[in-house]
Amino acid sequence: MKKILAAAIGAGALVALGTAVPASAAESPAMLSVLHGVPGLTVDVYVNDELTLDDFTPGSLAGPLELPAGTYAVAITASDATDASSPAIGPVDLPLDAGGNYTAVAHLDEGGEPTATLFTNDTATLAAGEGRLTVRHVAAAPAVDVLAGGSPVITNLANPDEQKLDLPAGTQSVSVAATGTTDPVIGPADVEVAEGANTIAYAWGSLEDDNLDLAVQTVAIAGMHSSPDGVPAGSAGLVATNAPESAASWTAVLGAAVLAAAAGVTILLRRRAGARVEH
Amino acid sequence: MRARSVIGSLWVPVAVLAVVLALGGCGTGTGTGTGGTGEGTSAAASGRDLQATGLATSPPAEAPATPLPEIPVSSAALEDRPALTGPAPVRFQAPDLGIDVAVEAVGLDDRGAMGLPANPSIAAWYRFGAAPGAAAGSVVVAAHVDSLEYDIGPFARLAAAPAGTRFLVTTADGTTHEYALTMTEVVPKEQVDWSAAFARDGAPRLTLVTCGGDFDYDARRYLSNVLVTAEPTG
């Protein structure tokens, strides 16, 4: 009887745990941004068959949307569509984890066909003074290298991939070139890599149509930046609360004066002694 | 002598608070506030003109069947990105304390601490944190309390400043932001909650930092930081 009871309680506890985990996870929403990277096509965006973005133009960034974790069906239609029944892209399923930070990008594949890709934005904590630069290839173009200040920092990046690096925050002169070359097909352009944030640069458009361009998104969430280790702000002790008592200071001053005087007397005595010798 | 003169001044509440915090050794800076999650991206600027590329055709205006959720939309074009921070502070004043100093934008020193100008008469603004006028977060302005080369600096007067003391921070665009002192803490350096002092979320506030307390005459460093918190007045 006791054993059965204990087992029943144990099972109850397991059930309670089992329900508690998803419940607490559900409290942390997913964040979703949407980037439109298909040139020449104004669209509507439907999420789970609900019109969510109306007349969304190329090069625009929407969001972030705060959504409960789950899988969302996204369909992208021409802007004159009345519903999501005949999408130009999708519908695609976007699985969003609790606490995740995402960007869904409507873009061209390497061959120039419209498609959509869900990227996860890296929001891991950065060292103080550093920023994260993520580059995503969402253009109808072969693999590229990304150059910062003329030197390749990312190589052989192909559609629809991303590469990222953490670097000292500040403005970087960024250009994009066919992989293995340094002749820019985009840029050079000054991209500010923000401290404590993920600066995401998208190479989008079409090489063939000569409309390659950069789109930029900056993702910063609470807890992503680090603080300085301290503020060293004094080196002389002139206002110290444990400063030697003024009497002690005077003793030191007097002591120094006495020493100086003694030295002076010695010099005087020596001079006199010398004088005496001379005489 | 110095401590006694502070307590003996008219501004007992602030002095007592500072002493209690220092003696209690808590120094967690919980009073600086950490409300708000700050979740979001800086791409969230709304109301920008969208730039359609030439091939886009505008459809006839039609009312959507259901009201659309409020989603900020902005141009992701590099040239359209909003500034990441507001204009930098260039001048700091505390008229009642006779403080009027230039402010430089600084980052970190080679040991990962906030790097201050050597001259105590030049204040430093942590350029990776909030700027005056930001919707959230702590604007950090710091200066050396003293130096063997330059003597005692103006920030030495902060430790005894009373609640309500006015601080004026002028930014590069000529705007002056006014704050009033709400809290003074003297915290042993190893106990300072720097993530709170440099928080980028929570209520907008000004955090002034200098050194104080006892001095380690061998290591040539103060053992405590003086942290003064002030809130916007307008």
| CB contacts, 8 Å: A84 with chain B | none
At B197, list the tokens: 């002092």
* Phi, psi values for residue A22, rounded to 5°: -65, -35
Nearest CA in chain B to A121: B41
- Counting one residue from A and one from B, how many pairs have CB atoms under 8 Å apart? 237
Strands B122-126 and B99-106: parallel
Determine the structural domain holding residue A72 and report its residue range.
29-120
Helix (H) or strand (E) holding A75: strand A70-78
Residues whose CB falls within 8 Å of the CB of residue B169, separated by 6 or more in sequence, listed in order: B89, B91, B92, B93, B103, B132, B139, B141, B176, B177, B178, B179, B206
Q: Do A68 and A135 have their domain in common?
A: no
Does one domain contain both A128 and A221?
A: yes
B79 phi/psi in degrees, rounded to 5 = -70, -15
Coil, strand, or helix at residue A173? strand
| pLDDT at position B232 | 98
Residues of A with CB below 8 A from B144's CB? 233-235
Q: Does the beta-carbon distance from A234 to B84 stay under 8 Å?
A: no
Last residue of a domain, one of A207, A226, A245: A226
Q: What are phi and psi of B15, to 5 degrees?
A: -60, -45
**Contact of B74 with A60, CB cutoff 8 Å:** yes
CA–CA min distance A226, chain B (Å): 7
Report the percent of chain A where pLDDT is more than 90: 74
CA distance A176 to A153: 10
Q: Which of B69, B71, B76 sits opposite A216 (nearest CB)?
A: B76
Least CB-CB distance to A234: which of B64, B81, B222? B222
The one-character DSSP state at A167 is E
Interval A150-174 mean pLDDT:
96
Chain A residue with the nearest C-alpha to that of B217 = A237
Is A88 found in the same domain as A58? yes
For residue B83, pLDDT beyond 90 = no
Helix (H, G, I), strand (E, B) or coil at A222: coil
Please give the residue of chain A at the shortest CA–CA distance from B141: A231
pLDDT 10s digits, A207-265: 999 999 999 999 999 889 999 999 999 999 999 999 876 444 444 444 455 555 555 54
**Chain B residue closest in CA terms to A237:** B215
Average pLDDT, chain A: 84
Q: Is A271 within a domain?
A: no
Question: Does residue A58 belong to the interface with chain B, where contact is any CB pair within 8 Å?
Answer: yes
Q: A49 with A108, same domain?
A: yes
Burial of B167 (0-12, 13-18, 19+ CB in 10 A): buried
Of A75, A92, A120, the residue at which a domain comes to its end is A120
Q: Select the residue of B1, B84, B128 nearest A129 (Cβ to Cβ).
A: B128
How many domains, in total, are found in chain A? 2
How would residue A169 be classed by pLDDT, with cut points 50, 70 and 90? very high
The pLDDT assigned to B32 comes to: 35
Interface touch B81/A218, C-beta < 8 Å: yes
Residue pLDDT, tens place only, B117-173: 999 999 999 999 999 999 999 999 999 999 999 999 999 999 999 999 999 999 999
- A193 and A101 co-located in one domain: no
Which of A54, A60, A241 shows the shortest C-beta gap to B75? A60
For residue B5, the distance in angstroms to the closest alpha carbon of chain A comes to 11
The residue among B227, B196, B230, B195 whose CA lies nearest residue B213 is B227
State the DSSP string of chain B.
-HHHHHHTSS-HHHHHHHHHHHHHT----GGG---S---SBTT---SPPP---TT--PPPP---SSPPP---EEE-BGGGPPPSS-PPEEEEEEGGGTEEEEEEEE-B-TTSSB---SSTTEEEEETTS--TT-SSSEEEEE--SEETTTEE-GGGGSTTPPTT-EEEEEETTS-EEEEEEEEEEEEEGGG--HHHHT-SSSS-EEEEEEEEEEEETTTTEEEEEEEEEEEE--
d(CA A206, CA B24): 64
pLDDT of residue B69: 66
pLDDT at B6 over 70: no
Contact by Cβ (8 Å): A259, A251 = no
B206 strand-pairing partners: B139, B230
My answer on whether A83 and A133 are in the same domain is: no
Domain B2-30+86-232 fold is Sortase; Chain: A; (2.40.260)
Sequence spans of domains, chain B:
2-30+86-232
Measured between CA atoms, the residue of chain B closest to residue A233 is B144
Contact between B74 and A229 using a beta-carbon 8 Å cutoff:
no
> How confident is the prediction for chain B on average, in pLDDT?
79
Among B32, B84, B85, B139, the residue to mutate for chain A (most A Cβ within 10 A): B84
> Given pLDDT bands bounded at 50, 70 and 90, which one contains residue A12?
very low
For the domain that residue A205 is a member of, what is the CATH number? 2.60.40
